[in-house]
Amino acid sequence: MTSSFDLRPYLEDMERFADGQLSAAEQEAFEERMLEDPELLKAHQAYEQLTADLRWAAGHEILQEQLQALDQSLDQRQQALTRVQRSPANTRRRTRRRWLLAIMGIILVSIGAWLMLRPSEDDAPAAWSRYYQPDLGLSEDDPSISRRPLLAEAMHQYQAGRYPDALRILQRLSPDQVGQDTLLYYNGIFLLQQDRPTAARSYLRRVSQQSSSPLAGKALYHLGMVHWHSRHPVEARAILRQVADDPKNPYREDAQLVLHDNVLQD
């Protein structure tokens, strides 16, 4: 159901963002605004739900038009059969039966096509969950956290499934303590586990663009999965293809499986 949230103050920005009319710098700035402005983030979520509802309604109207056309065709055929008074009774019955079977077949095919093509709110998240391989976090034996108790505690909370607590602890660290790429990467991972892909995308994209970072390849995989989660299959395919073509990427086989099974449908 579409939210009653008032989109009017944000509508122009939402449309330009959704239509890809922003430059790369403007898009990044807009995503940063969403991280800092809960009302803007809420508006973006309401806008996405609204567009999904409109797509469903358009498909429903098309089906109604098809059924009305079929009703009209049935009336015309019945009138024609009525005029054929001189035909034998058995011939009229056979003709009527054939027409009724044909029309019923068309109706069933139309309804089946609509059911298959309408947006499925349940199947898409289930498919994403089957293929997504989450980051397990840093282990206690990892040397990068041996002298960083806050980072160790953040990983402990994350691995226990307490993602908001893990994120709050992580945000108390500075880039000087753990490295900017590490801080950005795990901010994105923790946000994604909280089902906040829009907020996670900005962090993961910045790490994926740091070619010198050992986390760039991992960030690229999670960025592709973020796009899939956000229902941007074209962008998701392009990014996962990069992962699948990189023999050094630890998620190479996972990306290859997604592409091989062709689950990223437009």
Tens of pLDDT along 200-236? 999 999 999 998 999 999 999 999 999 999 999 999 9
Tell me what the mean pLDDT of segment 100-116 comes to. Answer: 63
Question: Rounded distance, CA 219 to CA 192, Å?
Answer: 12
Residue 183: the pLDDT is 93
Would you say the pTM of this structure is higher than 0.85? no
What class, spelled out in words, does domain 123-261 have in CATH?
A: mainly alpha
1: pLDDT strictly greater than 70: no
Residue 266: the pLDDT is 61
Question: Rounded distance, CA 29 to CA 164, Å?
Answer: 24
Which pLDDT tens digit goes with each residue over 4-37?
Answer: 567 677 777 777 777 767 777 887 787 788 778 8
Find, among 182, 167, 188, the residue nearest to 215 by Cα: 182
Q: Which residues contact 182 (CB under 8 A, 6 or more apart)?
A: 144, 215
Tell me what the mean pLDDT of segment 225-251 comes to. Answer: 94
Question: Rounded distance, CA 67 to CA 60, Å?
Answer: 11
Angle between helices 216-229 and 233-244 (to 10 degrees): 150
Residue 45 burial (C-beta neighbours within 10 Å; 0-12, 13-18, 19+): middle
pLDDT band at 75 (very low <50, low <70, confident <90, very high): low
pLDDT band at 115 (very low <50, low <70, confident <90, very high): very low
Angle made by CA atoms 214, 256, 216, in degrees to the nearest 5 = 15
